[in-house]
Structure 1
Amino acid sequence: MKLLLDTCVWGGAAAFLAAAGHDVRWMGDIEPDPGDEAIMTRAFSEARVLVTLDKDFGELAIVHRRPHCGIVRLVDLPARQQGAYCAAVVERYAAELAQGAILTVTAERVRVRGGTHHD
């Protein structure tokens, strides 16, 4: 799966996900941080699922109706576990993400919102 990791996601998660066979870009490799709108636009233009810790992307998608190719928000996960959780979730919920779902992921559960692709 094509993924774009926000700057707030642990950089080691990118290597973990790439090793698991995903096409991954990490915004932490780009200086300076271009901001949420630019990150969301880039993820959409590159047809990547956006992975973040930031709830603002959900607001951009839902309230402001910004186009996206799916969003995974990791909540309260230790940095070194972010890659493993993300890999498991994108595999399990690939169909929902392909439909533009927004996933909120905690250690205990995954909440799926939407699933209508926005373009």
Structure 2
Amino acid sequence: MKLLLDTCVWGGVKSGLESAGHDVVWLGEWEQDPGDEEILAIAHRSERILITLDKDFGELAIVKGAPHCGILRLVNLSGRQQTAVCLRVFELYRDELMTGAIVAAGLDRVRIRSFNET
């Protein structure tokens, strides 16, 4: 899967997801944070699922109708837990994410809002 990790996601997640065969870009390696609206636009243009801790991206997608290619929001996880939860979500909900769902996932709970805004 093609993924874009927000700056708030632990940097170690990048190597963990790459080791699992994913194409990953981490915004923490960029010199400047372009802001939420531009991050979502970049993810959409590059056909990447956005992974974040930030609720604002869901609001941009749902309320403002910003186009996206799927959003995974990690909820109440330590940095070390983030990779495992991402991989579990990809295994169980890959199809939903690939069709533009917004997924909120923690250790014991997953919520999915399925729709395609692309």
Q: Give the TM-score, by structure 1 length.
A: 0.96
Aligned letter for 1:7?
Answer: T
Match of residue 70 from structure 1: 70
Are the aligned partners of 1:104 and 1:111 in contact in 2 as well (CA < 8 Å)? yes
SS at match of 1:14: helix
Rounded to whole Å, the distance in 1 between the matches of 2:105 and 2:79 is 13
Encode CA deviations 1:40-97: one digit per residue, 9 max, x unaligned.
0010001000000000000000000000000000011011110111111112111101
Q: How does 1:1-119 map to 2 (within 5 A)?
A: 1-114=1-114, 116-119=115-118
How many equivalent pairs are there? 118
Are the aligned partners of 1:98 and 1:117 in contact in 2 as well (CA < 8 Å)? no
Are the aligned partners of 1:43 and 1:49 in contact in 2 as well (CA < 8 Å)? yes
Are the aligned partners of 1:49 and 1:72 in contact in 2 as well (CA < 8 Å)? yes
CA RMSD of aligned residues (A): 0.8
Aligned letter for 2:67?
Answer: P
The answer for unaligned runs of 5 or more in structure 1 is none
Encode CA deviations 1:9-67: one digit per residue, 9 max, x unaligned.
00000100000110100000101111101110010001000000000000000000000
Q: Which deviates more from structure 2 when the two are superposed, residues 42-51 or residues 84-93? A: 84-93
SS at match of 1:112: strand
Task: Give the percent of matched residue pairs that are identical in Structure 1 and Structure 2.
Answer: 58
- Large movers: runs of 4+ above 2 Å: none
Aligned letter for 1:49?
Answer: I
